[in-house]
Amino acid sequence: SSHRSDRTGSVGRRMIERPMCEGASIHDFVADAHDCFAGALRGERVACERTAATASGAESWYEACFTPVVDDGGAVIGVCLSLMDITRRRQLDEHMRRAERLQAAGRLAGGVAHEVNNMMTAVLGFSDFLLRSFPAGDARREEVLEIMSAANRAANVTRQLLAFTRQ
C-alpha cells in the first residue's frame, strides 16, 4: 500500500510538472482551480473554465472536469482531472455574441429609419400642400422648397440605411 501511494505520488508529480501547452503547466492551472478540486474531494463532479498563458503570451482557455474517484464503499479516494482546450469554442462564442449585437443594432437602425422615413413623408406631404397654397412669386415658396429639399435628403439617407440593414 505504501509502495502504491509512492508510485501514485510520483506519477502525480510528473503529471503536474508536465506542460499542458507551450509554457503552461497543469500545476498553474490546478492551483487556480482550487475550489473546483475541493468540490471533487467532497464527492461532487465539478467543471470549471480557466485560462493559461502560453510562452508566446497568448491566452488559452481550458475546461477542467474534476471527477471524484470513489472506492467500493463510496469514499472519495482521489480526483480524476480531465482538461480540454476550449479556446476555439470561446472564440466562436465571442464571435457569435458580436454578430448578435451587430444584428440587434441593425434591427434598431432599421426601426429608426422606418420612423424617420414616415416622418419625412408627412413633412413632404404637408410641404407640398403649403407650397400649393402660396401664389407664384411668393417669397415663402422658396422657404418651403428648402424644407422639401432637406426632407428629401433625409428620406434618401433613411432609404440607404434601410437598404443597408436588409443586407
Q: What is the pLDDT of residues 124-164, one digit of tens each?
A: 999 999 999 999 999 999 999 999 999 999 999 988 888 88
Q: Are 141 and 134 in contact (CB under 8 A)?
A: yes
* AA identity, residue 52: A
Please tell me the predicted confidence (pLDDT) of residue 27: 61
Give the burial string for 103-134 (b: 16+ CB within 10 Å, else e). Answer: eeeeeeebeebeebbeebeebeeebeeebeee
Beta strands in the chain, from DSSP E residues, in sequence order: 19-21, 24-25, 46-53, 59-70, 76-85
Reported residue count of the chain is 167
Cell of 52: 493559461
Q: What is the pLDDT of residues 19-64, one digit of tens each?
A: 555 555 556 666 667 888 888 999 999 998 888 777 788 888 888 8
Q: Are 31 and 52 in contact (CB under 8 A)?
A: no
Range in 58-62, 75-79, 85-89, 92-96 the model is least confident about: 58-62
Q: Are 28 and 52 in contact (CB under 8 A)?
A: yes
